[in-house]
Amino acid sequence: MNNLLVLPFLIPFAVGAILILFSKRIGTQRFLSGLTAIIMLGVSIYLLTVVRAEGIVVLEVGSWSAPFGIVLVADLFAAIMVLMSSIVGLLCLFFAFRTIAPEREKFYFYPFYFFLLTGVNGAFLTGDIFNLFVFFEVMLISSYVLIVMGGTDYQLRESLKYVVMNIFASILFIATMAFTYAVTGTLNMAHLAERVAELEQVGVLNVIAMFYFIVFGMKGALFPLYFWLPRSYFGPPAAVAALFGGLLTKVGIYAIIRTFTLIFPHNLDFTQPILIWVGAITIVIGGLGAVSNFDFKRILSYHIVSQVGYMVIALGLYTSLAIAAAIYYIVHNIIVKTALFLYAGTAQRITGTTDLKQMGGLLKTHPLLGWMFFITGIAIAGIPPFSGFISKLSLVIAGFETGQYVVSGIALAVGMLTLFSMIKIFMYVFWGEQKHTKAQGKIKVGDLLLPAIPLVILTTVLGVAAQPILSFFLEASNQLLDPSIYIDSVLKGGGA
């Protein structure tokens, strides 16, 4: 029993509700939201230390015991994800202070920002499938509002597709839960895990597992359901795009990893090839999309698709090192992707466009932006000593250990495509002749880059201090690979 577990989503929920009252007072909104984001970061760091010290922390909401009531569970993986969401939430918020138009601020930008974080953190911490659905919906409805806010023609058109796709996925989710409940008679994840193990995951349970994969894959932008992502992430302002690009798809991936390590790990012969090959096709498609595009934000959006594939491959390999690589990849990707979207927003602020062909020579007028982009760009391409290198390395080692040479080869080859598209951005945007006017060249962007600096530091630290961090992630992955720890702490005695 530990009430600490409700804080990561209760705080943003309460503050979001309060912020609605101050919708016309921008100063108050900024102060309150900034303060809240800092408190959330503190809470999530504290949560991680508690989980590290005491093992899995469980809260039975309203003291209804485990299979009957709703439980909240934080294992290391969930605590790491909550920490990441707090970091990204804080930094994107400070970027938003500088970039979001006052019209948006007056029309409930901050409340929905916090409702989004409520959904994300809730999805990480819940121990009940239906509750997961509810938090998904909280997250999605806020994301609909944030993505369409501003109401330009492009936003309306593309958000419509995003909304229709996601509502369809939600309906599929409900149907899947119906089948799950019919077969197993429970929706508590730990209880489900126990029952599925008793039924040995054959026949209809495999179908259910695949349905979950489709539902979460749709949210996580896996092949062939990725096409909505690059278009819809292009529309909203950079702060929102950075938050979405960093966090939202990873919630889908988190749910896939959770279900396939906890509930459906009993039929690896069937699930493994599907996960691995869907992941492999996803990274190739994402990589090719990034190479073929000539727009800053679109290239980054296709990278999201590509990177998500790596995480699913790592899950498919299903060894201790591979899952640790998946966690490493998620953490690395959240940091780097957020930073890159922030640069895209900054470059857009300077030049007024995100079209690569209309940009050039930014390195001369804004060297700090250029070099920060360079570090992050080679980090995502997997060049040492930054975090991308370690995550790819551990993934490929895990691939070789399990004999998946083809997939490891694909993963490495697409790494080249990523590097190529990053170099393309660097050459078009930062090298070449200056295409923006002298007045634009004098725009100061120091305050816009401030939120990205912690991210650059983090990616460097993740790469340089790989040994302790990887062993910490191995600890988290061993916890994931032994579902009995999770099941016991939920069903027997209610944990710490």
What residues make contact with another protein under the rule CB under 8 A?
130, 133-134, 137, 141, 144, 148, 151, 153-154, 156-160, 163-164, 167-168, 170-172, 174-175, 177-179, 181-182, 187, 231
Paired tokens of 251 = 């919630």
By CB atoms closer than 10 A (0-12, 13-18, 19+), residue 200 is exposed
Comparing CB distances to another protein, the nearer of 164 and 413 is 164
Smallest CA-to-CA distance from 374 within 304, 299, 431, 307 is with 431
Paired tokens of 429 = 């945007």
CA dihedral 33, 38, 39, 44 (to 10 degrees): 120
Comparing CB distances to another protein, the nearer of 62 and 151 is 151
Amino acid at 441: G
In the complex, the smallest distance separating the C-beta of residue 476 from another protein, rounded to whole angstroms, is: 31
Comparing CB distances to another protein, the nearer of 28 and 358 is 358
In the complex, the smallest distance separating the C-beta of residue 37 from another protein, rounded to whole angstroms, is: 26
Q: Which residues contact 294 (CB under 8 A, 6 or more apart)?
A: 355, 356, 357, 428
**H/E/C letters for each residue in 207-267?**
HHHHHHHHHHHHHCCCCCCCCHHHHHCCCCCHHHHHHHHHHHHHHHHHHHHHHHHHHCCCC
In the complex, the smallest distance separating the C-beta of residue 72 from another protein, rounded to whole angstroms, is: 17
Comparing CB distances to another protein, the nearer of 157 and 492 is 157
Paired tokens of 201 = 């995951």
**What are the helix and strand counts (H, E) for the chain?**
24, 2
Amino acid at 419: L
What are the CA-CA distances from residue 451 to residues 14, 167, 194, 237, 265 (Å)? 25, 33, 44, 16, 40
In the complex, the smallest distance separating the C-beta of residue 340 from another protein, rounded to whole angstroms, is: 20
CA dihedral 305, 306, 311, 315 (to 10 degrees): 100
Comparing CB distances to another protein, the nearer of 30 and 231 is 231
The two beta strands, 57-60 and 71-74, are antiparallel
In the complex, the smallest distance separating the C-beta of residue 107 from another protein, rounded to whole angstroms, is: 14
The answer to whether 230 and 249 are in contact (CB under 8 A) is no
Smallest CA-to-CA distance from 81 within 239, 377, 311 is with 311
Paired tokens of 11 = 């705080």
In the complex, the smallest distance separating the C-beta of residue 129 from another protein, rounded to whole angstroms, is: 10
Comparing CB distances to another protein, the nearer of 152 and 471 is 152
Comparing CB distances to another protein, the nearer of 279 and 286 is 286
Comparing CB distances to another protein, the nearer of 154 and 371 is 154
In the complex, the smallest distance separating the C-beta of residue 327 from another protein, rounded to whole angstroms, is: 30
Comparing CB distances to another protein, the nearer of 164 and 416 is 164
In the complex, the smallest distance separating the C-beta of residue 284 from another protein, rounded to whole angstroms, is: 22
Comparing CB distances to another protein, the nearer of 312 and 359 is 359
In the complex, the smallest distance separating the C-beta of residue 94 from another protein, rounded to whole angstroms, is: 29
Percent of residues in the chain assigned helix, strand, coil, to nearest 5: 80, 5, 15
295 phi and psi angles, rounded to 5 deg: -135, 135
CA distance 305 to 180: 29
Longest dimension (CA), the chain: 70
In the complex, the smallest distance separating the C-beta of residue 479 from another protein, rounded to whole angstroms, is: 29
